[in-house]
Amino acid sequence: MHTQPMHSRLAPLTCALAAATLLAACGAMKPSASPMYSQDSLPDTIKVPAGNKVAMETVGVGEITYECRDKANAPGQTEWVFVGPKAVLNDRSGKQVGTYYGPPATWESGDGSKLTATQLAVAPSGAGNLPYQLVKANPAMGTGAMTGVTFIQRVALKGGVAPASTCAPANKGERQIVKYQADYIFWKAA
pLDDT above 60 for 166: yes
Chain segment 99-117, per-residue pLDDT in tens: 999 999 999 999 999 999 9
Gap between the Cα atoms of 82 and 163, Å rounded: 10
| pLDDT for position 49 | 95
Q: Per-residue pLDDT averaged across 130-150, rounded?
A: 97
| pLDDT for position 20 | 40
| Residues 147/175, Cβ–Cβ less than 8 Å | no
Q: What is the largest CA-CA distance in the chain?
A: 112
| pLDDT for position 4 | 53
**How far does the chain reach from its first CA to its final CA, in angstroms?**
73
Tell whether 14 is covered by a domain. no
SS3 (DSSP) at 171:
helix
SS (H, E, C) 7-24: HHHHHHHHHHHHHHHHHH
Could you please report the per-residue DSSP string of 78-108? EEEEEEEEEEEEE-TTS-EEEEEETTTTEEE
Tell whether 30 is covered by a domain. no
Tell whether 37 is covered by a domain. no
> What phi and psi, each to the nearest 5 degrees, are found at residue 126?
120, 150
Tell whether 19 is covered by a domain. no
Per-chain mean pLDDT for the chain: 86
Alpha-carbon distance values, 72 to 8, 82, 111, 146, 179 (Å): 92, 13, 39, 35, 25
Tell whether 111 is covered by a domain. yes
Q: Per-residue pLDDT averaged across 158-162, rounded?
A: 97
Tell whether 76 is covered by a domain. yes
The percent of residues above 90 in pLDDT, for the chain, comes to: 77
Chain segment 56-101, per-residue pLDDT in tens: 999 999 999 999 999 998 888 999 999 999 999 999 999 999 999 9
Tell whether 16 is covered by a domain. no
Q: What is the domain extent for residue 52? A: 44-189
Tell whether 22 is covered by a domain. no
Instruction: Count up the domains in the chain and report the number.
Output: 1
| pLDDT for position 3 | 53
